[in-house]
Chains A and B, each alone.
Chain A
């Protein structure tokens, strides 16, 4: 449909591709409904798994690649996108950092296959599929370790406003403007000092509506997460899980980390000890680091001892 679109000036051609991810980045674009038509006046969408039926990779100016590289097919598709597009944007958290699937780095491929297929208690088949699926790679890889990436747009999914701002930036030839504000910057809860002494799990009690989660003793990752979402979670009563990945200061400086920065702020807002907060985040590290741990900037930090933390947590279960 879209590739037959014509306008007075040549529209900018776009390919999109979807590797190992949940499809949310693409669905966020389709979710724009009729607003998408305004965009189609300036761009021409060629290869796009949710909108067009083009199977090959036509030449395009901009390539949006969502998802991480988990299978041999992902690797091939990423390479084809690089060959066919002038500018590649790593689109969404999976493409930039490995995303949720990246949490697979803490297990071997054999362990994952055994849990999902071999000894899955809720299915009756106990063998992994072998026909018509692409072979798995040993680890999950963010795309920039496989192909050259020109721009990064994290978010899970990035709010379409950011996607189209990014496209406009390119169309108008402006330098990309990274905003460093965090999810807290758009949150409207009141940050206040409290005498809270105990960390609450996210299922403990009902959080107060208008008070900052950190002030109440809930672990919220808003202050360590880039705002690429317009902060919908804290506005709707749930803590930020850090889906757009860590802030620049955490990514660039090995001495800064998600758990220490949250603890610094939370211990000042409450009467909870800083070390206690750090231990709590380490205890549930798989959740708190799930979006970014496959990225070298986080996973290779000398202080990021995920396997040790998981072993400690599991030892407590048994």
Chain B
């Protein structure tokens, strides 16, 4: 099963992930003003939340990685080297 973690400090409470998620995985904790993962089992691994999050706060594990048709292979080879 896909496992999602939200970097607690990085989450800014903008709720964009709640907007974009096609399967309503997230709920909003109004008291803490943070998004929380409520229905992880429903995640289809589309990574829309991860792409839209302004902070880059999402980590997905055990999801199927689909290679984009269009990608910058030259840069992908450098990505590992970023500090």
Which residues of A approach B to under 8 Å, CB–CB?
Answer: 89, 144, 149-154, 162, 165-166, 169, 176-178, 180-182, 184-187, 190-192, 212, 214, 222-223, 247-249, 251-256, 264-265, 268-269, 296-297
Contact = CB atoms under 8 A, between A and B. Distances in A.
B64 interface: no
Contacts of B12: 184-185, 187, 190-191, 212
Contact of A191 (B9, B54, B82): B54
Interface in B39-59: 51-52, 54-57
A191 B19 CA distance: 14
A178 B83 contact: yes
A255 B83 contact: no
A152 B82 CA distance: 5
Contacts of A151: 81-83
Contact of B7 (A153, A181, A214, A248): A181
A223 B55 contact: yes
Contacts of A297: 72, 74-75
A210 to B, nearest CB: 12
Contact of B71 (A180, A181, A253, A269): A253
A1 to B, nearest CB: 27
A264 B53 CA distance: 10
Given A151-B83, A176-B81, A181-B10, A252 B75 contact: yes
Nearest to B11: A185
Which of B9, B56, B76, B83 gathers the greatest number of chain A CB atoms within 10 Å?
B83
A261 B80 CA distance: 23
Contacts of A269: 14
Given A253-B70, A296-B74, A178 B82 contact: yes
B52 to A, nearest CB: 6
A212 B33 CA distance: 14
A273 B15 CA distance: 19
A129 B23 CA distance: 64
Contacts of A152: 78, 81-83
B79 interface: yes
Given A165-B83, A191-B12, 17 more contacts: A150-B81, A152-B78, A176-B80, A176-B82, A181-B57, A184-B56, A190-B13, A191-B13, A191-B14, A223-B54, A251-B72, A252-B71, A252-B79, A255-B68, A264-B52, A268-B16, A268-B19
B79 A248 contact: yes
